[in-house]
Structure 1
Amino acid sequence: MVKDHRRGIAAGIAAGALWGLIFLAPELAPGFAPMQLSAGRYLAYGIIAAVLVAPSWNALRQRLGRAEWRALVWLGLAGNIVYYVLLAAAVQSGGVAMASLVIGLAPIAVTLAGSRDRHAVPLRRLAPSLALSAAGLACIGWDALSAPGTGSLPGLLCALGALVSWTLYVVGNSRVLARITTVSAREWSLLTGVVTGIEALVLAVPAFLLADGMHDSAAWWKFVGIVGAVAMLCSVLGNALWNHASRALPLALAGQMIVFETLFGLLYGFLWEGRWPTMSESAAMVLLTGGVVCCAAAHAPGKPGRGAMLLKVAP
């Protein structure tokens, strides 16, 4: 139990380190529209996933029912297609810091959503963690939105839409994985990739055929390299690690692991911009990390959750 708990936390941190790269992709390909970045990434994800899952495809199909396939369809849309279109638009309109700030609210939203799930601890024990996370995000927000020339209303609205879409995915994916025991975390990630790749085919038509602007061959090869790398690192590897964390950890604690996406996204942004973090950004990173530590301590194995406490007082 303790070993699974620690491995789940390690997997969540590793997933966040990989997911943090998605904030850089729109900056690396500024001439491409958000729909093109999303379609390209998930077409690549679908192709890679199809190749990797092909040897076990027939066996996997027999282990899934209609409910699981429906879940894969809406999870692919919410957590991949819709989320990344909105995120890329937010980054290009409002900048990396503003997008990181808003998406950074996801840990709080997911933790609150998971506070009544099985193995959840009482919400009052999560209060210190949530307070630290909120304070950290406030520091990022103050620094990002007070700087001249940063942020925009369309970018903010896109970031809020991405937050809603991402929260729905994290909560829904965790609950589906808790119910399904016939596939591994890696297999579920690959199946999600195959379904998302099919959905991306529909998005690719307006994204590439109806979009304005021309690019030379060098720009297209750079685009292919960027979306391919993001698909492999963030989608294939990152999602598999996240699925492992989702199975090993209570939803409220897994939600806090999303903080590392924000932390690593900020770190990569500092490296890209060639600067050190400001005082506010440094304070934010310390506070966000403290929030995760407090949440992990509240969920430490051996501490009674809500269900165990009720059993303790039951006659």
Structure 2
Amino acid sequence: MGAGVAFALAAGMMWGLVFVGPLLLPEYPAALQSFGRYLAFGLIALPLGWIDRAEIARLTRSDWIEALKLALIGNLVYYLCLASAIQRAGAPLPTMIIGTLPVVIAISANLRNHQRDGRLPWARLFPSLLLIAAGIACVNQAELATQTERSTADLARYASGVLFAIVAVACWTWYPLRNADWLRHHPGRSPRTWATAQGLATLPLALTGYLLLWLWLAVDGNSFPMPFGPRPFAFVGLMAAIGLFASWLGTLCWNEASQRLPTALVGQLIVFETLAALLYAFLLRGQWPAPLTFLGIGLLLAGVLWAVRNK
């Protein structure tokens, strides 16, 4: 169990990087950042797949179909919505909407996977969920207060960002449940191989999306310089870093945690991603969080500790 929690922590620290990518490249379309990240993930998976080719060869046709579904919903669509949300509403609020995932996944897993993992009594589950929800509310409060000063146009853009974040939550509620199903049903398979397989499944999807976006920008007469935008070295370097750390290594660590822990618990541990994203966002801003934000972070950590103690 300790190893599972450590793997979940490592995954969260790496996944937090994806929340600052759109802020570092604000002039790049969200779709280009999504396709670029997962194109890098797929290219990184190619040599890793060759090294692990014996295990890769064991995957069946149904395994590859499942990897393709996970790659499409949990990778491309999720990050497209997340990057769009951050560019429209800033980093803190989408981060905290995504931060509801521990609550949503834990409830979904407790309802859906009770025959496999055992159902945790709701009376024991709710205290940790309430602490996490209270933490999310505290961190959101300061950010929401600033929206009253926005113009109508800004509010419309902000609202669209919130909607994109909600769709991202739906995508990433589905992903860990389905991913955990495969891992728990294949206990003899390597989580590393499954992470690489998802990268390989992502590659054709990301490449197709990248080429279609390039074609659309050309037909639309958009002056955005393709294929790598106005800052090619920054774009390629950031996509490669996120593709390696957040996509492949983060997925590997999450797979390791999912194979060791009940889904209702590992779902709550995704709060580490929220905490890491907040840390990186405030470091990028060069400022300390407000006192209410500190209180929210403390409540989030208390919720996680309570959840681990229950299990």
Normalized against structure 1, the TM-score is what?
Answer: 0.90
Aligned to 2:28: 32
Counterpart AA for 1:76: A
Q: What CA distance in whole angstroms lies between the structure 2 residues aligned with 1:61 and 1:127?
A: 40
Is 1:138 matched with 2:133? no
Aligned to 1:119: 117
How many Å apart are 1:143 and its aligned residue? Answer: 1.7
Structure 2 matches for 1:274-285, cutoff 5 A?
274-285=286-297
Unaligned runs of 5+ in 2: none
Aligned to 1:162: 168
> Relative to structure 2, which stretch is displaced further, 118-127 or 280-289?
118-127
Q: What CA distance in whole angstroms lies between the structure 1 residues aligned with 2:223 and 2:21?
A: 19
Q: What CA distance in whole angstroms lies between the structure 2 residues aligned with 1:22 and 1:208?
A: 23
Q: Is the 8 A contact 2:187 2:259 kept in 1?
A: no
How many Å apart are 1:229 and its aligned residue? Answer: 0.5
Counterpart AA for 1:44: A
- SS state of the match for residue 289, structure 2? coil
Counterpart AA for 2:260: A
Q: What CA distance in whole angstroms lies between the structure 2 residues aligned with 1:196 and 1:184?
A: 19
The equivalent position to 2:13 in structure 1, one of 8, 14, 17, is 17
The equivalent position to 2:303 in structure 1, one of 280, 283, 291, is 291
Q: What CA distance in whole angstroms lies between the structure 2 residues aligned with 1:194 and 1:183?
A: 17
How many Å apart are 1:209 and its aligned residue? Answer: 3.0
The equivalent position to 1:49 in structure 2, one of 19, 42, 45, is 45
Counterpart AA for 1:82: V
Structure 2 matches for 1:176-187, cutoff 5 A?
176-187=182-193
Structure 2 matches for 1:126-275, cutoff 5 A?
126-148=125-147, 149=150, 152-211=158-217, 212-215=222-225, 219-275=231-287
Unaligned runs of 5+ in 1: 300-315
Q: What CA distance in whole angstroms lies between the structure 1 residues aligned with 2:21 and 2:66?
A: 27
- SS state of the match for residue 63, structure 1? coil
Counterpart AA for 1:45: F
- SS state of the match for residue 146, structure 1? helix
Counterpart AA for 2:34: S
How many Å apart are 1:64 and its aligned residue? Answer: 1.9
Is 1:97 matched with 2:97? no
Q: Is the 8 A contact 2:229 2:235 kept in 1?
A: no
How many Å apart are 1:218 and its aligned residue? Answer: 6.1
Q: Is the 8 A contact 2:56 2:197 kept in 1?
A: no
How many Å apart are 1:245 and its aligned residue? Answer: 0.4
Is 1:7 matched with 2:3? yes
Q: What CA distance in whole angstroms lies between the structure 2 residues aligned with 1:278 and 1:44?
A: 36
Q: Is the 8 A contact 1:63 1:182 kept in 2?
A: no
Q: What CA distance in whole angstroms lies between the structure 1 residues aligned with 2:85 and 2:235?
A: 19
Where has structure 1 moved over 3 Å in runs of 4 or more? 148-151, 215-218
How many Å apart are 1:217 and its aligned residue? Answer: 7.2
Report how many aligned residue pairs link the two structures: 294
How many Å apart are 1:66 and its aligned residue? Answer: 2.5
Aligned to 1:87: 82
Distance 1:30 1:65, change over 3 A: same
Q: Is the 8 A contact 1:87 1:99 kept in 2?
A: yes
How many Å apart are 1:42 and its aligned residue? Answer: 0.5
Q: What CA distance in whole angstroms lies between the structure 2 residues aligned with 1:60 and 1:224?
A: 30
How many Å apart are 1:287 and its aligned residue? Answer: 0.5
Q: Is the 8 A contact 1:129 1:295 kept in 2?
A: yes
Pairwise CA RMSD of aligned residues?
A: 1.5
- SS state of the match for residue 210, structure 1? helix
